[in-house]
A and B are shown apart, each in its own frame.
Chain A
Amino acid sequence: MFDTKHTLIALVDDKPGVLNRIVSLLRRRSFNIQSLTVGGSEHPGLSRMTVVVAGDSAVVEQVRKQLDKLISVVKVSDITNEDMVARELALIKVKATASTRSEIMQIVDIFRANIVDVALDSLTVEVTGDESKMESLIDLLRRFGIKQINRTGRIALTRGITRD
């Protein structure tokens, strides 16, 4: 029984309380949610949710079935072992002075990230990518002094064939 990181994507009703129903099930089994994102989907009235949890595969599968049973959930899949595209977005506010600003901008360029706000003493960087790219960029920016980070957590879709 090893805990592995699982990515679940769910198509759910866009109604009050739905998030609560889903989180409540995960809480009951003591899952620590590593990230959870919700946003609109291609279906009106339905949202798509990406949940990343660490857990034993058999337990995650049991929870997936229980999630699927919820009336508010149209479909839920564990796409961990599938070919998927996973991205997250981070906003990083980093300290910047006249002398460090250009070096930061070079790093941002290399990562194909964007500067979205400039102030006298800081730059705000917008970056998308997988988790390891986020971590590398954050590591590089750390020595300039990071003031704030806000990350969305993972959103994911399987590649190729369309599916719910």
Chain B
Amino acid sequence: MKKTGAQILCEGLTREGVEVIFGILGGAVLSIYDTLPQYPQLRHILVRHEQGAAHAAEGYARVTNKAGVCIATSGPGATNLVTGIADAYMDSVPMVAITGQVARPFIGKDAFQEADITGITLPITKYNYLVTDVADLAKTVKEAFYIAQTGRPGPVLIDIPKDVQQEITEFAYPEKVDLPSYKIISQGHTAQIRRAVKFINKADRPLIIAGRGITISQAYDELKELAEKAQIPVVSTLLGLSSFPGRHILNFGMLGMHGMAYANLAVQTADLIIAIGMRFDDRATANAGGFAPEARIIHIDIDPAEISKNVPADVPIVGDVKAVLKVLNKEIEKADHLEWVSQLEQWKYEHPLVETGQGDKLLPEYVIRQIYEATQGNAIVVTGVGQNQMWAAQYFTYTKPNSFISAGGLGPMGFELPAAIGAQIGHPEETVWCIAGDGGFQMTIQELGTIAQENTAVKIAIINNGYLGMVRQWQELFYQRRYVDTKLRNPDFVKIAEAYDISAIRVKHRDEVVSAINKAMDHSGPFLIDFSVEPEENVYPIVPPGESLARFLEIPKPEVLSK
């Protein structure tokens, strides 16, 4: 049957199981939008800015483990997607970004709204296409979804000139992809797995570092089995939070720059590190040269280019985490590691999470903790970037798999609101809490419009300290308190929400926190709470830049959190 390029694209999207597209219109995608009503199974979410489309697609993809789809017009539309695409690339998020391009005769002539988006996104996509022949379009869509969702997932961009969208050709959707140069190694090397088993069986102080690969590979059960069978404590990277039950006795929290003191001490004392689906990011390792000085390192990852990139691996295992762990779990011996686990418990006792400050100040840590208490962990938490993100990582206990959604590698402020929209649309039955900073919130604040239009039931908590908080903290600690341009004169967020017809309240006092959270949860639609928190609260512990993990700074004058 003959179809237009735009129809072929929509056919491809439906065949790939796409249900939701996040996008905004423009001249070079008009033909695609004109075709959309013929495909009612494709729900289009109209965002307010293309960055919102990309982050929303990410939020959707992160919670559903399916490719998120975003669409933008040529030129500025396409360039506005870039931050979200780069973020998806860093955090291995499956995404298919569709951009309109000027018609073929205009390409390369600096036409109106022309940008070389395949050139621009070359280093931040897993692959990208400029479709110059409508006959290639069906195959391209098929390949794009395959590449985005297999192996180490990532973003794929398809740039489609306007005249290609309008051109008509015979439509046949390919059954299979033919990509001889695209290799995925899913089964780990048997000999390396055997070596890993030996190391694990004879380790005295083994430690698992769980990364986002656990979530991508859906290897929660396998991770739990590994930890329990040999009684190996588990710490996680930021993106590995929620890959291992938060209340499990072998869970020792997050490692890294703002990791738990006991998690970092465990890393620096372990004699064996089993790093699973993680990439030794500098925020996780701190000074990589001083990382885990006493440990041999088993590194399991699907991407061979991650092996020995930042930290040399003694046992490299390239493969799908779930598949590798299945084999590993069969081979390893039961163990208890009593002494080691009790050492970690001792450290946990000596370095508890603390709630800082005095009396009845409204502390951000308290707000996060109360959201946890109110939801009992039964929520998806989507964070911004900065202090709010770290407090959300530290003070919420993630008891449900894949319940912590955060932009780790790229760290784009403004991720939280659109990503929360995507997460809520991906899982409409779940409670989604968007933990925002007042700085980051204003980077994508326009997506309140999307929330209002779609009546997306996101609960928004602005951790409003009136500063670009994390930067202010660095100025305080490392730039002798010279607060250059980190103080924000913020608008009235409650009024802004109300202007969008979104219910909102402001909380200034500690004793209002719980009732405000409950009010938000009882409300059926979207709800915003502006928490005016203590302005100069810092995130602790912190490993100063350049130091190794054991050299963390803890809060001055700690006061044990009374639970």
Contacts and interface: CB of A to CB of B under 8 A. Distances in A.
Interface stretch (A17-25, A112-120, A124-132, A144-152): A17-25
A24 B122 contact: yes
Interface stretch (A62-70, A92-100, A102-110): A62-70
A153 to B, nearest CB: 23
A72 interface: yes
B123 A28 contact: yes
B303 interface: yes
A13 interface: yes
Contacts of A68: 304-305
A143 to B, nearest CB: 46
A119 B51 CA distance: 63
A69 B303 contact: yes
A74 interface: yes
Interface string A47-70: 000000000001000100110110
The interface residues of chain A, by DSSP majority, are classed as helix
Interface stretch (B63-71, B177-185, B377-385): B177-185
A73 interface: yes
A58 B126 CA distance: 23
A84 interface: no
A1 to B, nearest CB: 13
Contacts of B304: 65, 68-69
B118 interface: yes
A20 to B, nearest CB: 7
Contacts of A28: 123
A9 to B, nearest CB: 15
B483 interface: no
Nearest to A12: B181
A140 interface: no
A121 B88 CA distance: 61
Sorting the interface of chain A by its residue count into under 10, 10 to 19, 20 to 34 or 35 or more gives 10 to 19
Interface in B95-150: 118-119, 122-123, 126-127, 130, 147
B309 interface: yes
Interface in B140-187: 147, 179-182
B305 A66 contact: yes
A74 B305 contact: no
Contact of B122 (A21, A66, A69): A21
A71 interface: yes
A137 B180 CA distance: 43
Contacts of A66: 305
Contact of B305 (A17, A24, A58, A65): A65
Contact of A69 (B118, B119, B180, B305): B305
Contacts of B309: 62
B444 to A, nearest CB: 28
A86 to B, nearest CB: 25
Contacts of A21: 122
Contacts of A62: 305, 308-309
27 contacts: A12-B181, A13-B181, A17-B122, A20-B119, A21-B122, A24-B122, A24-B123, A25-B123, A28-B123, A58-B308, A62-B305, A62-B309, A65-B304, A65-B305, A66-B305, A68-B304, A68-B305, A69-B303, A69-B305, A71-B126, A71-B127, A71-B147, A71-B181, A71-B182, A72-B181, A74-B180, A74-B181
Interface of B: 118-119, 122-123, 126-127, 130, 147, 179-182, 303-305, 307-309
Instruction: List the 5 shortest-distance A-B pairs measured between CB atoms, nearest first.
Output: A65-B305, A74-B181, A71-B127, A66-B305, A69-B305
Given A17-B118, A71-B182, A73-B181, 16 more contacts: A13-B181, A17-B122, A20-B119, A20-B122, A24-B122, A28-B123, A62-B305, A62-B309, A65-B304, A66-B305, A68-B305, A69-B303, A69-B304, A69-B305, A71-B181, A74-B181
